[in-house]
Amino acid sequence: MQTSPVDIWWAVILGSLGLTVLTVTIISIVIANQRKFIKEQKKQMSVLQKSEKKYRSLFEELKDAILVATPEGTFLDANPACIEMLGYSSKDELFQSKVERDIYPNSREREVFEKLLLEKGVVRDFELTVRQKDGELRNVMVTASYVNGQQGGVASYRKIFHDITERKKIEEQLRQSQKMESIATLASGIAHDFNNILGIIAGYTGILEKRKDDPEKFAHSIEAINRTIDRSTNLVKQLLTFARKSDILLAPVNVNGIVSEITKLLIETFPRSISFLTFLEKRTTTIFGDHNQLHQALLNLCVNARDAIGTTGSITIRTEIIEEKVVRARFPACMPKDYVCISVTDTGSGMSEQTRKRIFEPFFTTKEKGKGTGLGLSVVFGIVENYNGYIDVESELGKGTTFRLYFPAHNQSLASDELRLVENKERNGGTETILVVEDEELLLDLVRSELESAGYHILTASDGAEAVEVYKQHKDSIDIVISDMGLPKIEGMEAFHLMKAINPKVRFILASGYIEPILKEELLAAGAKAVLHKPYTLNVLQKTIQEVLVES
């Protein structure tokens, strides 16, 4: 059958219509997908904008300070809490006046922190000091991480600062309160010991009077009196260490030396039925800390151990160097260095697990009313935390307790005070003129007699006003002034300033049973040549005189 032109025409028309429908269908599908894609993008954009708005709201409203900066120190962002914490009026003022490293007054702290951050990627609750615009310092706990750049390396640091300045002030108040509680705890034992000391001195003085013709008994009595005086001097020094309120003085500290000092004190004051054992690391046990605070921490642990023991038992104190990998297994955030560990073990009643979990809470105590404030262990915890250290406790009911304090080891070697030998041989005297100012008549006579025996020419005064008058009359001939701090009429410190006004080059040595560290530094900065701690020996006095003469 032959196809007609009409049929062909209709076929072409229908084919064209089919292609058009297909094209339209495809176009419709593409447009629909495009619309769906745009709708999805708008939805995602809306979610992103909401998330960004939520993040920005949290960033702006968070009470903790947030800071974002480059490794070079360029500020990228800071929230209002950060601006306020640092004492600036606006973000622009902070960004224009500083680079990030300038807000850290302690460069060593910052370097340790950034090294840990690069090693770990995240650092949590690292204690730092920051400086405000007006120069005031704030204590903060920092949690931080870093962001990698597209080409590798660190693009920025993100840090969250929690201000703990007020908490630190409260901790310091707690420490001072605990010091006084510790002294009260030891007071009866010390009073008993001092009575024994006075009894020994009185007894041997009587022997000296009766047996002065017996050289052997005379020498033995003198030796016993000297040992007893040393014993009483050490007790007084320890009391002053625990009682005084002074600024924290960070320096290399020999842990073995502190353990030896505290053990000597406690043997004298704790019941004789409690024995002490010490095992000291033979290698150098130096850490970077405050001598008085470490004394306080160890004392608190030992007092707690004594209370747990009751009547009869033992306290063992051990020091040792612990390798970093061992400490890290227990405390993953530890610093990349070895640690000095002090452990205190008692044979007391031990603790239940429930009690052990609460022992570091302030004011928590298992002692009966009037026997403790519950501050002792919280003070220990605060001290250890201040030095980036850790504390661990093992205890079992009826089997005693062990506390372990871990402190980052300090590389600098340090000789303990016990290793510093003082020469006992007689020192050569001199011919200089010395003004000795002392209100205690017997002590004044003793010092004058001993220095005159050494060849010095001695002038004396019994109060500050008399001392100033004597100095006015003999200023051209007086080579050195040795003065007590606590004098009648005019105190030693004021007398020093009055003499300095007469002669700016006056050589002045002050003597005191106790002087605040800050006041001592002020006096030395003002020109005082030395500060003697009472009681001092003739050797120490002559050595100080000779050093002042040579240095001047």
- Dihedral through CA 298, CA 300, CA 303, CA 305, nearest 10? -70
Per-residue pLDDT of the chain (552 residues; tens, 9 = 90+): 555 665 655 565 555 655 565 665 666 676 667 767 666 766 666 666 665 665 556 667 778 888 888 888 888 888 888 888 888 888 888 888 777 888 888 888 888 888 888 888 888 888 888 889 888 889 998 998 888 877 777 888 888 999 988 888 887 777 666 666 655 555 555 555 565 566 666 666 766 666 667 777 777 777 777 766 666 665 565 455 445 444 456 678 899 988 988 888 788 778 888 999 999 998 888 898 888 778 878 888 888 888 888 888 999 999 999 998 898 888 877 878 899 999 999 998 888 887 777 777 655 555 554 444 445 677 788 778 778 888 888 988 888 999 999 999 987 544 433 333 333 334 456 789 999 999 888 778 888 888 888 889 999 999 999 999 999 999 899 999 999 888 888 988 899 999 999 999 899 999 887 666 667 778 888 888 888 877 777 778 888 888 888 876
Burial class (CB in 10 A: 0-12, 13-18, 19+), 282: exposed
DSSP string of 46-63, one letter each residue? HHHHHHHHHHHHHHHH-S
| Size of the chain, expressed as the number of residues it contains | 552
3 state DSSP class of 42 = helix
Answering whether pTM is above 0.75, one says: no
How much of the chain is helix, strand and coil, in % rounded to 5?
50, 20, 30
